[in-house]
Amino acid sequence: MIKHIVMWTLKEKAEGASKKENIAKMKAMLESLEDKIEEIKAFEVGVNYNDSKAAHDLLLYSEFEDKDALARYQVHPDHVKVAEFVRAVTEDRAVVDYQL
């Protein structure tokens, strides 16, 4: 089992929208992937409410059967489309992938 965790900090304004608007859009776009990509075994998107300077704005927690399934997810056309928007609206990203 592979666990894939990503955290993002969004720009204050990007793609003609505020940070708050882009957080909502990004969350909806990410959540739409669960029904489109069969490699996903578990998928959760959370919006941060902690105002700490160390906090990120949005988190993705996901699980995949193995490294190959994660690799297929990452190149899936629906994921690639979402990733393009994510790159446009984020200023920082942290990721951890680990195997159980």
- What confidence tens digit (pLDDT) does each residue in 41-70 have? 999 999 999 999 999 999 999 999 999 999
Q: % helix / strand / coil in the chain, to the nearest 5?
A: 40, 40, 25
Domain hosting 22: range is 2-99
Contacts of residue 37, defined as CB under 8 A and 6 or more positions apart, other chains included, come to: 73, 76, 78, 79
Structural domains of the chain, count: 1
Instruction: List, as own/partner pairs, every contact residues 20-23 make where C-beta atoms lie below 8 angstroms and the sequence separation is at least 24, other chains included.
Output: 22/89, 23/47, 23/57, 23/58
- Lookup: tokens for 22: 């882009």
Q: Output the domain CATH number for residue 84.
A: 3.30.70.100
Is the model's pTM score more than 0.85?
yes
Q: What is the pLDDT of residues 4-50, one digit of tens each?
A: 999 999 999 999 999 999 999 999 999 999 999 999 999 999 999 99
- Lookup: tokens for 37: 């990509």
